[in-house]
Structure 1
Amino acid sequence: MQPFRLDPTTPAHGPAPHGARQIAGGTNLVDLMRLGVERPTALVDLDRVSAPALRGITRLPDGTFRIGALTRMAEAAADTELRRDLPMVVQSLELAASPQIRNMASLGGNLLQRTRCPYFRDVSWPCNKRERGSGCGAMEGITRHHAILGTSDSCIAAYPGDFAQAALALDAQIEITGQGGVRRMKLARLHRLPGATPDVETALDADETITAIHLPAPGWARRSLFLKRRERTSYSFALVSAACALDLDGDRVREVRLALGGVATIPWRAFPAEQLLAGERLTEECAHAAGVAAFADAVVRPDNAFKRDLGAALIARALLAARALPAARDLPVTETRR
């Protein structure tokens, strides 16, 4: 494999050799290359691209946060305005991976990270995500960490990320740049359900790159949080995670956003739970009913059936914890952005 490095003045959507893969932090791609899962003919080093729009956090006039796709996870987690206005975003970043990885991993790359399914990562097993039509080793295997929502007869691999859930709950959008120019897309449309083609994971064209993430920041999103249940207290992927943002009128739900991780093949918005809660008094009973509703369509296997109850309980806990938060946080902001 020959390295392919862009000149620092080359646009991020410049031409690349056939079979090339983009690399930024490398925390996912390099790992998969070592395992033999990824075999690019060349690497396009995005870190050498000097375009300022690819880095940093900007507050737009409408209050939206625009975050360059090469911004590191640690940089976003340390941002004082994000911490004040979108706490669930910061929490999703702080609970991910390790400090060393957060210092290297880019937010754009984090959105595109590939599954941690052991049958995908071990090339001795058949995997429809690696090679369409080859079969799925997980179907008759150990499925403790696999998905129970959004699955198909071809794939039950769970999406591993955390940040995507928090962004999805906010109806985030992404900027995408390719040889045809720049376009915007809702984050909810980026990841594709496996269906019969689990090898096609996103809606990006081959020449396209995520260049920025746009996070809306309504005032009520200060009442938000991110909860994660895992087997270890650090450097472990979620068995179940929940991003929750809540707007209350007294004790009644005016607006609620819920997104789930660890349980689905893509970042998963819990629309049935949101619909059940709309206009209702947020009691313990209502919160638990919402959790159950979120998993009504779950397809479980003996090893991962526990995720249905764990996920329902985590949603209830997130809702009740969000209810206990103040409607607005008044953390001081000492940073001035240029």
Structure 2
Amino acid sequence: MSPSINNASLVERISKGEPRAVARAISKVEDLSKDASELMKQIFPLTGRGLIIGITGAPGAGKSSLVDKLALLYRQQGERVGIVAVDPSSPFSGGAILGDRIRMQMLGLDEGVFIRSMATRGNLGGLARSTVDAVSILDAAGYSKIIIETVGVGQDEVEVVKAADVSVVVLVPGMGDDIQAIKAGIMEIGDVFVINKADRDGVHSTEKELEALLSLASREDTWEPPIVKTVATESKGIKELAAAIESYKVFHEQAKSVDGRRRAIARWRILELLRERLVSQTLESRSASEKLDRLAGEVASRQRDPYSAVEELINSGSL
């Protein structure tokens, strides 16, 4: 059976919302399967229906509990929910799968919830792209709420959250300098801010500090990001969080800024694919690959800097 026919069958099953077909398709894009791009071409026309929610924040902020309770609330409202957990630091999938199994005790028995972890598996690049592809697959399968949960606030996570319709940043009381540390990468992209574990001491001072930082952040729209206080383990504040997310969605649509955001996301996706394709073509070319090995040796021995090495590859027509 040809890959195109095989993909057509897979896409048909995905359009019917079959979890096994969804899992198989995500594995293809995660493993950089040869026919993954052809699969995604067929998936794309089926997308654009689900609301994509990116949730990020420092490790230990209770994001997993928050995501689980938010997913449960959406399920009570009759929504189908997809959860993609992104962990750039995991070189293997074992830990991620174990994490999924623990979470499955609460959500996994519900056929209206799909949970998947995305790890690098040793691949330093492409995580953001494969995660966005996974989200597209869930969208095509009819999941109306798709939550991207990141482990931390590194560059990979920021890139992933940029691709969401709504970006939620989670903090906890007593972070102190950590709020200052993450403001550069996160404050500008956060649409909703959450102070989780709000039963702890210091919640008021954290809220005031966050308000001060948000007053300095520059946004392209007139939206004023709300601050929602939650205690996820007790399901407190979850309805308020869902309401804040919905408010931003409505604002975004009424302000007509949704087109600009989607255009920015589309541009980012095209550039990510272009970079990946150019690098892939370079590595497939024997002469370019040999040149790359030679240049790598020169850079490693400090005979050459990596910047001039890239310039040589470009100028020689290897890219």
Normalized per residue, which structure has more helix?
A: 2
Q: Which has the larger radius of gyration?
A: 2
Answer whether TM exceeds 0.5 for this pair.
Answer: no
Normalized per residue, which structure has more strand?
A: 1
- TM-score w.r.t. the length of structure 1 is 0.27
- TM-score w.r.t. the length of structure 2 is 0.28
